[in-house]
Amino acid sequence: MTTSTSYPVLQVEHLTMHYTTRKGVVKAVEDVSFSLNKGEALGLVGESGCGKTSVALTILRLLPENAQFLGGHVYFFRDGSDEAHVRRALGKPVKILLNGREHQGRLLEVNRAQLVLETQLNGRSQQIKLGRSDITHLGVDLTALSDEEMRPIRWKGISMIFQAAMNSLNPVYKVGDQLIEAIQTHMPLSLPEARERVAQLFQLVGLDRQLMDRYPHEYSGGMKQRAVIAMALACDPDIIIADEPTTALDVIVQDKILREMRQIQKKLNMSMIYISHDIAVIAEVADRVGVMYAGSLVEFGPSEPIFKSPIHPYTKALMSAFPSIKGEKVKLTALPGEPPDLIKPPSGCRFHPRCPYATEICEREVPQFIEHKPNQYAACWNPLT
């Protein structure tokens, strides 16, 4: 999925995660794969309850106790000159991009000159030695890290704007202090320096710097939203995951904040994953789009071709359910039928009970997630053209 000009900062492969509940096992994430490139805005879209938040939480390893991680890899890429990153990767499954080739395996040894990688080839393991200075893209599998090793990745590597952003501010601490807390955990700054940084971040998101010494209950909804965005930016993360960053706001503020976020992201050349159930929002901000249905990714590719000529019938249905006038919210009920129960999802293609193009095979077998058009992937037996 990589081209010569863009390289990935995150690769998600075959992610599967279920929740155990009293009623049964909720198959919230099934075999989800996608990649996120440097400086790119990726949109994840799908109906409520299709597992978008679950994907984000699985990546950051913030799952609740009843969640079961069942497999998959999340490769988080940094430069090979990042000493801490390399040390973290030692003994872990890694992915190395070198001269357009992908080396995958376990990192056995690191010294000043080279990295020793153990890879599997035709069922036999072999060792590859790679020159240290050549390695500019070293991806470590986050699912293999311990909690303590994961800690520096959180917020410094990947930060998140939570779905209930308003509630992610602790009511008993001043907002500024909550940003300073994150900054001082990950960056060697003194208190005055950290305060200055917070002031700059506040300015960036359009908040008065005086507000940093106020408590969350003194903020309006829009201000809280901006503060949470500033908080996500606090440690200069490589990736920001924005889970429905604006749904709690009214349409005008929503639009404004979205545009500003997009500007900041471009300015700082950050990679971003926007999660929304609102395809109009995704269309506005995303360079590439992943469409989720019932826990799986059904279509993935650059946003323009996807919106112009979708391959998957669900993507098409999603688009026709939303009028193109952005901002205007229409419930997805325009799509006939109910989103499936994730405890007992339909057999074969999970979309088949609602799909107008369904054929007999759709009911029996799960369609492969393959490239139908250049860079445009989908899982469907009867792709639209």
Ligand X SMILES: Nc1ncnc2c1ncn2[C@@H]1O[C@H](COP(=O)(O)OP(=O)(O)OP(=O)(O)O)[C@@H](O)[C@H]1O
Of these partners, other proteins, Mg ion, ligand X, none, which one is at the site of residue 66 (CB under 5 to 8 Å by kind)? Answer: ligand X
DSSP string, 190-239: -HHHHHHHHHHHHHHTT--GGGGGS-GGGS-HHHHHHHHHHHHHTT--SE
Length of the chain (residues): 385
According to DSSP, residue 154 is labeled: B
Q: Please report which helix (H) or strand (E) contains residue 141, including its range.
A: strand 137-141
Please select the residue that binds ligand X; options are 35, 163, 254, 265, rule is CB under 6 A.
163
In the complex, least distance from residue 234 CB atom to ligand X, rounded to whole angstroms? 24
From the list other proteins, Mg ion, ligand X, none, pick the one residue 69 interacts with, judged by a Cβ distance below 5 to 8 Å according to partner type: none
Residue 35 binds which entry of ligand SF4, ligand X, Mg ion, none, with Cβ cut-offs from 5 to 8 Å by kind? none
Contact stretch for Mg ion (CB under 5 A) within 49-57, 66-74, 317-325, 350-358: 49-57
Half-sphere exposure of 216 (CA within 13 A, CB side): 20
Residues 6 or more apart whose CB falls under 8 angstroms from that of 142 comprise: 59, 61, 74, 75, 76, 150, 153
By CB under 8 A, what part of segment 109-168 binds other proteins?
A: 147, 151-156, 159-160, 162, 164, 167-168
Residue 13 CB, nearest approach to other proteins (Å): 22
Are 238 and 157 spatial neighbours (Cβ–Cβ below 8 Å)?
A: yes
d(CA 290, CA 45): 6
Contact flags string 129-168 toward Mg ion, x per CB under 5 A: ----------------------------------x-----
Binding mask 342-371 for ligand SF4 (x = CB under 6 A): -------x-xx--x-xx---x----x----
Among positions 14, 20, 48, 62, the unique one binding other proteins when judged by CB under 8 A: 62
Cα distance between residue 249 and residue 257, in whole Å: 10
- How many residues contact ligand X, by CB under 6 A? 17
Q: Three-class SS of residue 66?
A: coil
Q: Are 198 and 179 in contact (CB under 8 A)?
A: yes
| DSSP-assigned letter for residue 338 | P
d(CA 187, CA 362) in angstroms, rounded, equals: 52
Residue of the chain from 86, 240, 280, 380 that contacts ligand SF4 (CB under 6 A): 380
User: What's the gap between Cα 303 and its chain centre?
Assistant: 16
- State the minimum distance, in angstroms, from the CB of residue 57 to ligand X: 7
Which parts of 170-229 interact with other proteins (CB under 8 A)?
170-172, 180-182, 184-186, 189-191, 194, 213, 215, 217-218
Kindly state the smallest distance separating residue 290's Cβ from other proteins, in Å: 21
The contacts of residue 220 (CB under 8 Å, 6+ apart) are none
Pairing, β 271-276 against β 288-293: unpaired
Considering the rule CB under 8 A, would residue 22 count as an interface residue with other proteins?
A: no
Q: Applying CB under 8 A, which residues contact other proteins?
A: 60, 62, 65, 147, 151-156, 159-160, 162, 164, 167-172, 180-182, 184-186, 189-191, 194, 213, 215, 217-218, 231
Q: Applying CB under 6 A, which residues contact ligand SF4?
A: 312-313, 349, 351-352, 355, 357-358, 362, 367, 380-382
Q: Applying CB under 6 A, which residues contact ligand X?
A: 19, 21, 26, 28, 46, 48-54, 64, 66, 163, 277, 342
